[in-house]
């Protein structure tokens, strides 16, 4: 539990259940109310300070007096039943700080090059056409028919994981990321641990195969990659592959689904780079990213002490009227500052170029092939905060 920040500059307190149905469907009015009181507010349900303005979110993400690793003196005891999940998390570059983070990210970036990503474009395009060829004539769920398979198949191909295991990968990933949701329950925890064990066993076996018979895929490249003569350990390899599989499709599924919903509701069909960026800004898939304070620091008018925890509300930063004109309006031609959806600082999303490429191709292909696509029911968001994604997206052609 976060230790309360010292509220020396009138940080307002707000109470808002993150599982309240009205909030789940539209969290942005709450963000607007909270932001009206200042760049930071205290969220009672999370018992921590939250950065809610665009400038404050960016400042917290980039400040090197903060990080993802919990200060040792505040580290909680992990229940034995949950240890497998946190054993995997312990090697995740998303949860680490330098020097461990620097080494891991450097090795991943050597394998995750812009040339590698760009070379995926023809395959992504063909995959989108193949999936659209299978669309039924009656109303169907675009999430399961298109938004989910595009990113999971792409990241599977990139890593070199068999595509016929994509259903397992999706199921395991969904169970594991549920550990970050506000509605976490013992049942969700048990499912996440089972998924972690299955995912780890699968990746361990597959990595061992690739050690014996390397191919032209990301897993083989990661196995061979070195930094100052040091390679990834097997545990680091497993966690890195799981992280790339989870992050490589989970966020893109939500972004693609949320984006199609937004475009259909506004009858927008032309897909440009500014339109893709606006989709990423307007209704992002991740709304909260937390940081620990390591050294006493002041941001704007608010002071924090070591051990404080700050939540960066990415979805709120993207709707700040000081950063964007009419921020609650979707503008496919918008020009403005960089959105907060991919994070910032040393933890800026390593997969951002791939996500942008997937979104651009998937949206272009979808509307070229299905110009008469329309909603058949009002989309509903799932109770998954601090993620933000649809339960389903029922459409017809």
What CATH number is given to the structural domain containing 246? 1.10.630.10
2 located within any domain? no
235 located within any domain? yes
Give 178-183's long-range contacts (Cβ < 8 A, gap of 24+).
178/384, 179/85, 180/386, 180/387, 181/383, 181/384, 181/385, 181/386, 181/387, 182/18, 182/19, 182/385, 182/386, 183/19, 183/383, 183/384, 183/385
Q: What is the domain extent for residue 74?
A: 12-396
Q: Count structural domains, the chain.
A: 1
Cis, peptide link before residue 99, omega less than 30° from 0: yes
pLDDT at 227: 65
Question: What is the phi/psi pair of residue 365, to 5°?
Answer: -65, -40
pLDDT at 4: 46
Question: What is the phi/psi pair of residue 41, to 5°?
Answer: -145, 165
The rounded distance, in Å, linking the Cα atoms of 310 and 5 is 9
6 located within any domain? no
- Do residues 206 and 161 lie in contact, with contact meaning Cβ atoms separated by under 8 Å? yes
CA 237 to chain centre: 20
5 located within any domain? no
230 located within any domain? yes
Listed in sequence order, the residues at least 6 apart from 61 whose beta carbon sits closer than 8 Å to its beta carbon are 289, 291, 312, 340, 343, 344, 345, 347
Tell me the mean pLDDT per 10 residues along the chain, length 397.
Answer: 47 96 98 96 96 98 96 92 94 93 88 86 97 97 96 89 86 91 92 96 91 89 78 89 82 95 97 97 97 96 95 98 97 95 94 94 98 97 95 96
Q: How much is the pTM?
A: 0.93
pLDDT at 159: 86
4 located within any domain? no
81 located within any domain? yes
Give 219-225's long-range contacts (Cβ < 8 A, gap of 24+).
219/159, 219/160, 219/161, 220/160, 221/110, 221/111, 222/107, 222/108, 222/111, 225/107, 225/110, 225/111
Pairing state between β 48-51 and 40-43: antiparallel
237 located within any domain? yes
Neighbours of 77 (CB within 10 A): 5
Strand partners, 3: 308
pLDDT at 145: 97
């Amino acid at each position: 539990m976060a230790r309360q920040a010292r509220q020396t500059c009138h940080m307002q307190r707000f109470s808002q259940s993150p599982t309240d149905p009205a909030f789940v469907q539209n969290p942005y009015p709450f963000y607007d109310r909270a932001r009206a009181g200042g760049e930071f507010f205290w969220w009672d349900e999370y018992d921590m300070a939250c950065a809610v303005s665009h400038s404050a979110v960016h400042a917290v993400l980039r400040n090197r007096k903060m990080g993802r690793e919990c200060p040792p003196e505040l580290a909680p005891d992990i229940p034995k039943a949950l240890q497998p999940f946190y054993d995997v998390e312990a090697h995740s570059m998303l949860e680490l700080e330098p020097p461990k983070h620097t080494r891991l990210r450097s090795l991943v970036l050597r394998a995750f090059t812009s040339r590698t990503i760009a070379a995926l474009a023809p395959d992504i395009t063909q995959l989108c056409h193949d999936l659209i060829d299978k669309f039924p004539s009656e109303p169907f769920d675009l999430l399961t028919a298109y938004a989910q398979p595009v990113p999971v198949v792409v990241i599977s191909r990139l890593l070199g994981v068999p595509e016929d295991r994509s259903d397992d990968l999706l199921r395991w990933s969904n169970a594991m990321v549920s550990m970050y949701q506000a509605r976490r329950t013992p049942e969700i925890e048990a499912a996440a641990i089972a998924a972690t064990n299955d995912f780890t066993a699968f990746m361990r076996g597959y990595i061992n195969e690739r050690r014996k018979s390397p191919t032209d895929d990301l897993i083989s490249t990661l196995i061979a990659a070195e930094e100052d003569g040091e390679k990834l350990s097997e545990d680091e390899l497993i966690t890195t592959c799981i992280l790339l599989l989870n992050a490589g499709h989970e966020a893109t599924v939500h972004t693609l689904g949320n984006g199609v919903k937004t475009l259909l509701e506004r009858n927008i069909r032309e897909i440009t780079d500014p339109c893709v960026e606006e989709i990423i800004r307007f209704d992002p898939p991740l709304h909260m990213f937390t940081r620990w304070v390591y050294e006493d620091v002041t941001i704007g008018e608010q002071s924090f002490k070591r051990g404080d925890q700050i939540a960066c509300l990415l979805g709120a930063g993207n709707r700040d009227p000081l950063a964007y004109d009419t921020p609650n309006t979707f503008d496919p031609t918008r020009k403005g500052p960089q959105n907060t959806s991919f994070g910032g600082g040393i933890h800026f999303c390593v997969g951002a170029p791939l996500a942008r490429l997937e979104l651009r191709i998937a949206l272009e292909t979808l509307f070229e092939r299905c110009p008469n696509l329309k909603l058949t029911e009002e989309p509903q968001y799932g109770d998954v905060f601090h993620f933000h994604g649809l339960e389903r997206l029922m459409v017809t052609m």
